[in-house]
Amino acid sequence: MEGIVKFNCYWSQSGPVISEEQYEIINHWRDILFNLDLVGAYENGVGFGNLSTRIGSTQQFIITGSSTGDITELEPGHYVKVSSFNIDDNAVMCVGPLKASSESLTHAAIYSVDPGTRAIIHVHNGRLWEELMNKVPTTDPAIEYGTPAMAREMIRIFSSPEVFEKRIIVMAGDRGGLITFGNDLDEAADVLFQYYNKDDQ
């Protein structure tokens, strides 16, 4: 879920931090996912789902800002740069108009452990979550989203070759939560829709 920040967020407020090219790519996919209710907000106002993209060859990345799940169309000011992080301290350092997504530490863990991952998509879909549970790499159900334990769980999962074969992860402790990843957002989205559209084939 989105909008409940559990980590220590060290935020430097600034103007937009996303380039025009980055914005066009990430917002293209965010619009698609939002329209399919894979990213959005529940009736209680708590948002879910987020996207991120790595900056160059660094461990810095651009991610959707906190509490943006219910916004129909995001603007450049709704994206944040995570400049550094510390899993042990449950800390994320970010810069931008908003604070970083509550799942930033999970994204950070994946970027830190796999240099080949350059984009991550986190969505919610109850049907797909139930179908894929324990059939693809699945996190420990006792581990909550947006915690250092979940970040460490991602590092554990990425030690298995299966994750690179399936390229999708079920977040068992985050009802409906799924993560796909790839060399870019197009690839991460392609993985997601290979699973999402299976019932329609």
Q: Please say if the pLDDT value at position 147 is more than 50.
A: yes
pLDDT attached to residue 162? 97
pTM: 0.95
Which DSSP letter does residue 101 get? P
Which DSSP letter does residue 77 get? G
Instruction: Measure the CA–CA gap between 129 and 83, rounded to whole angstroms.
Output: 31
Cβ–Cβ contacts within 10 Å for residue 151, how many? 25
Q: Please say if the pLDDT value at position 3 is more than 50.
A: no
Full set of structural domains in the chain with CATH: 8-200 (3.40.225.10)
3-state DSSP assignment of residue 128? helix
**φ/ψ bin of 70: left (φ > 0), alpha (ψ from -120 to 50), beta (otherwise):** alpha
Task: Read off the pLDDT of each residue in 167-191 and give the average, rounded to a whole number.
Answer: 97
pLDDT attached to residue 6? 65
Note whether 194 and 165 are within 8 A (CB).
no
62-114 pLDDT, tens digit each: 999 998 999 999 999 999 999 999 999 999 999 999 999 888 999 999 999 99
CA distances (Å), 93 to each of 28, 84, 101, 104, 195, in order? 26, 5, 12, 10, 33
Q: Please say if the pLDDT value at position 143 is more than 80.
A: yes
Task: Read off the pLDDT of each residue in 4-10 and give the average, rounded to a whole number.
Answer: 72
Task: Read off the pLDDT of each residue in 101-129 and give the average, rounded to a whole number.
Answer: 96
Q: Token match 């907000």: residue?
A: 41
Percent of the chain at pLDDT > 90 equals 85
pLDDT attached to residue 43? 87
Provide the strand spans (E) within the chain: 8-13, 40-41, 47-48, 50-54, 61-64, 79-86, 91-96, 119-124, 168-170, 177-182
Q: Which residues contact 133 (CB under 8 A, 6 or more apart)?
A: 170, 172
Instruction: Measure the CA–CA gap between 179 and 123, rounded to whole angstroms.
Output: 7
